Amino acid sequence: HAGRAPGGPSAKGGANGQAANASAAAAAPAAPALRAAGGPEGGRKGAREAREPVSIRRRLPLASINRQTVDGKHLDPVSKEQAPLLAKYGGLHLIVWGLIGLATVSMLLLGAFMLCGRSQTRSLYMLMQDSREEVTKGLRVDFRDGNGSEKSFCFESQPLGIVFTKQAPIRVERFEFNSYAKDRGVQLGWALLRVGQEEVTGRHSLPDVERMLRSHVKTLAFWPLRVDFDTGNGAIKAFYFVKQPLGVEITRQAPFRIALFKPDSYAKTCGVELGWVIVRIGDAVVNQRTSFGVLSAYFESGLSHLPQEPKGLRMDFSDPGTGKERVYYFQRRPLGLVLTRYKPIRVQGFEFNSYAKERGVQAGWTITRIGDQAVPSGLSFEQVDRRILENSATLAVWPLRMDFDTGRGVRTFYFEKQPLGMELLNKLPIKVDTFKPDSYAKACGVQLGWVITRVGDHEVTRETKFEQVIECLVEGVCELPPADAQQVPGRQGGVQRGPRSSFC
């Protein structure tokens, strides 16, 4: 033991001893440099140190350097074969100690968490509970399928579009057009178990279930109407309409195309274009076998529950047939409503070219609000009529629609000014005979010889009397603002009738 260097290999021999001697021999050429720097004594001292066996432990880490100084002494590096091995062992030691430290910190944090009290434990439980018990934005409705398994749904839109059986147990009998529940995966025959937190038992009748559903879904968003169009270049575009009316007219024969945009068309603002072909509406496919009546029913059913765009004058109506409140917005005037003289004031009918009728208002509805003011049931006809006129005075004028048979099809125009500046023959069919100078109708694109087929909301056929057409022209044109600001609008200035022709 006395012959070994401290912590080093034996000086007599062996593999370790041979490696040390080899290292010392490799360092021998450096001795002259040491003697030159420190003199004879320094050279002899450096030579002795170079011959002494040095512990490998003192050389860590020496993987990528040629010389190291420890305590003022120059040490020879380890061999190139030993350096990577030593560096590897050093890296493993660091990783092991790092993992031990991380585990220690984790245990300390867990202990602190366990000592914080019951509130933290309760929070942990809430994170681990069943996902069905989480708070959702929509309405949870549970069903039992034919196999006895429970099915839970979270509905975020209304109406659900389900028709239930009248007898208990309440089951899904069928689906309405464009049913939201059907789109979500509800199936026929499933039994209704729960609506929100309320259980549906055998004691609940169908009216009870319907009231239960109405009270829960009234705060949900409305299920939009999907309409797919063939754009003509091989692409199909799908639109989800969330407002109504769309403000479009469709051809009466398949394929059903967009033939016309009405003023303030919602579909046009959404990006729909003329000539596009309807290939799907809601959950129904539209093809050559679909009739115009069926397509119209699809649109009416799919749009009836949607709100209108909140632009213009708001008026609320009470629908006695369904008990629902109807909210309508009017962007044009006059509304063209005929009101009852008795209280409460209801919609008795509509005037010619009624804008309110075009928007979807129906006879029999009670007016409950005009603008930001409620309409009490005790208000008289004069008071309600005055409120409507005052609140709609700043709206744009509802234009007069006129359709013409061009001989190659039908052209539709919406005239917004008077006079139109055209002369019509006083016989059926009513044709455009001449134009006045600076004719507004001619500037809009009307041409000589075209036959009038529609005025406002009245169709002009071979059975229509000439006097009826002229009366419609008088009523429609007189409501338009004059092209000349100095001209006073009125019934006398609307249409001038002569023995052979009439000017409008």
Mean pLDDT of 386-409: 97
Residue 8's pLDDT is 42
pLDDT, residue 44, reads 47
- Of 131-140, 362-371, 419-428, 468-477, least confident by mean pLDDT is 131-140
Span 365-396, pLDDT tens digits: 999 999 999 999 999 999 999 999 999 999 99
**Average pLDDT over the chain, rounded to whole?**
82
| Total-model pTM | 0.69
> Which residue, among 441, 416, 443, has the nearest Cα to 431 in the 3D structure?
441
Average pLDDT over residues 440-467: 94
Domain with CATH 2.30.42 in the chain: 136-221, 313-396
Mean pLDDT of 70-99: 56
Assigned token pair, 64: 């990528």
Degrees (nearest 5) of the Cα angle 177, 180, 181? 105
Query: Which of 149, 179, 284 shows the shortest CA–CA distance to 228?
Result: 284
pLDDT in tens, 136-195: 579 999 999 999 999 999 999 999 999 999 999 999 999 999 999 999 999 999 999 999
Go through 463-493 and write b for each residue having 16 or more CB atoms within 10 A of its CB, e for each that does not: ebebeebbebbbbbbbbbeeeeeeeebeeee
Amino acid at 342: Y
Which CATH class for the 313-396 domain? mainly beta
The residue with greater pLDDT, 96 or 214, is: 214
Average pLDDT over residues 285-290: 97
**Token pair belonging to 403:** 């359709």
What's residue 502's pLDDT?
79
SS (H, E, C) 106-174: HHHHHHHHHCCCHHHHHHHHHHHCCHHHCCCCCEEEEEECCCCCEEEEEECEECCCEEECCCCCCEEEE
> Is the pLDDT at 229 greater than 70, yes or no?
yes
Residue 123 has pLDDT above 70, yes or no: no
* Residue of 421, 418, 417 lying closest to 436 (CA atoms): 421
- The pLDDT value recorded for residue 493 is 53
Query: How many Cβ atoms sit within 10 Å of the Cβ of residue 149?
Result: 8
Strand partners, 460: none
Instruction: Give the pLDDT mean for 101-127.
Output: 54
Provide mean pLDDT across the span 126-130. 36
First to last CA, the chain: 131
pLDDT at residue number 113: 53
d(CA 194, CA 351): 49
Quick check: 27 and 76 in contact, CB under 8 A? yes
pLDDT band at 457 (very low <50, low <70, confident <90, very high): very high
- Phi/psi of residue 172, nearest 5 degrees: -80, 110
- Residue 335 tokens read as 């509304």
| Backbone torsion region of residue 265, taken as left when φ is above 0, otherwise alpha when ψ lies between -120 and 50, otherwise beta | beta
Confidence class of residue 233 from pLDDT cuts 50, 70 and 90? confident
Beta strands, E only, 186-323: 191-195, 198-199, 221-222, 225-230, 236-241, 248-250, 258-261, 277-281, 284-285, 313-319
Return the higher-pLDDT residue of 490 and 196.
Answer: 196
Over 70: is that where the pLDDT of 51 sits? no
What's the CATH architecture for 136-221?
Answer: Roll (2.30)
